[in-house]
Amino acid sequence: MKLTTIDKLCCPFDHADLELTRITEDTGGKIIEGWLYCPDCKRIYPIVKGIPIMSPDAYREFEMEKPLFEKWQKQLKGRKVKNFRLIE
């Protein structure tokens, strides 16, 4: 995902601006892995292989995303993900 793309994205639920956390990026600066976070509704949207997963909650499967959140424990800094929301 190009960094310029984030300026065009918003939370699909409340249309708030999203915050980006980068995990890995390629030599051209494209985001390969990370997440987008909505500070209003607290939803977290993973970025996998450069593609943000921004489907409605009803179409997401937490068990499929759970390994990513477990892998990112260091970057989450003690926060947990529950119902696709980042909680303290």
The per-residue pLDDT for range 42-74, each reduced to its tens digit, is 999 999 999 999 999 999 999 999 999 999 999
Do the strands 44-48 and 31-37 form a parallel or antiparallel pair, or are they unpaired? antiparallel
The per-residue pLDDT for range 21-45, each reduced to its tens digit, is 999 999 988 999 999 999 999 999 9
Q: Please give the model's pTM, rounded to 2 decimal places.
A: 0.90
Return the percentage of the chain with pLDDT > 90, whole number.
88
Mean pLDDT of the chain, nearest integer: 93
